[in-house]
Structure 1
Amino acid sequence: MFASNFTVDSKYLTHVRGRDNLTSYSQSHTIASGNTMTNYFCSTCGTLLYRVSSRSPGQNILRIGTIDDFNLHETKLRPQVELFVKDRVSWFTGVEGAKQVEDGAWT
């Protein structure tokens, strides 16, 4: 399983509408680093919108699929780092030009 994400500094993340409809859930037992990950999702449809790690509390980890501007997908949101390469499925050979990291420890 994999997901494409990007990070946004908390000071730049704004909620145009629906902030009061978000629900959060935090846990650490399935996070490889042991950090706590808080997930924010829509309480109406269940869509995961973003996550915040205790490792980087000022950063929001958003799903690329929540962005509907496909030009951004081809440009600014093109993956730059692939994490957990050791666990990726055999049929996916990686993102050309992206940094490959065996586990989740990137800097």
Structure 2
Amino acid sequence: MASSTIDKSKPYFPLAGGADDGWSTEDEATATCFCGAVQLSFPTHGPGYVGSFICNCSDCHKLTASVHATNFTVYDTHLKHLRGRDNLKTYSQSRTVFVKTPGKDNTMTNYFCSTCGSLMYRVGAAFPGMSILRVGSVDDFSLHETKLRPTMEQFTKDRVAWKAPTEGAKQFVEDGLHVQ
């Protein structure tokens, strides 16, 4: 079936990876790694949902092996580990694009599935109490176009020239997450 014929206003769970038990409701949905060993649930709107954004920073280029990342942020108090928490491995570093004050803790920690390598989320000193998840890990693909559609695009200075600005998203030359 061509994507143009899919009703993206309704839940849509295409074959994607090794798991087939993802779900979504009006208020909550799942994100699963490629092999299915790790599954999270998260709110799809407030109070636990913070927002969705495109990031073109150099960290996201390298971490995703792509030219940008499509992310969303939730409060840690609302992120649930449904399975596989013990299967997550971490990689942390403090040399990131979010250094604002020399000497300040700037560690970003990445949580990967140890079986398939899928990045499930990031936590950082610059984002206390929040986790940054990847929209691509969300099981219900209709949410990619609806509730998780990015409202902001940051580090546009590092966006590749052939990628147009994200339609409808507020544009930031650098860090848009810490702008008041």
Gaps in structure 2 of 5+ consecutive residues: 1-66, 100-105
- The answer for the alignment partner of 2:125 in structure 1 is 54
Q: How does 1:83-94 map to 2 (within 5 A)?
A: 83-94=154-165
Contact 2:153 2:176 in 1 (8 A): no
Q: Residues 15-47 of structure 1, C-alpha deviation per residue, up to 9 Å, x if partnerless?
A: 110000001111011x11222110000111111
Paired residues, number:
106
Describe the SS at the equivalent of 1:72: helix
C-alpha separation between the residues in 1 aligned to 2:94 and 2:175?
A: 14
C-alpha separation between the residues in 2 aligned to 1:4 and 1:33?
A: 17
Q: Does 2:167 align with 1:72?
A: no
Which has more radius of gyration? 2
C-alpha separation between the residues in 2 aligned to 1:92 and 1:79?
A: 15
Using the size of structure 2 for normalisation, the TM-score is: 0.57
Contact 2:70 2:134 in 1 (8 A): yes
Q: How does 1:1-107 map to 2 (within 5 A)?
A: 1-29=67-95, 31-34=96-99, 35-106=106-177, 107=179
Q: Match for 1:9: what amino acid?
A: Y
Describe the SS at the equivalent of 1:102: coil
Gaps in structure 1 of 5+ consecutive residues: none
Contact 2:152 2:176 in 1 (8 A): no
Q: Match for 2:86: what amino acid?
A: D
Structure 1 runs of 4+ aligned residues shifted over 2 Å read none
Q: Residues 57-98 of structure 1, C-alpha deviation per residue, up to 9 Å, x if partnerless?
A: 211000001102122111110011101101100111111110
How far does residue 105 in structure 1 lie from its aligned partner after superposition?
A: 4.0
Using the size of structure 1 for normalisation, the TM-score is: 0.94
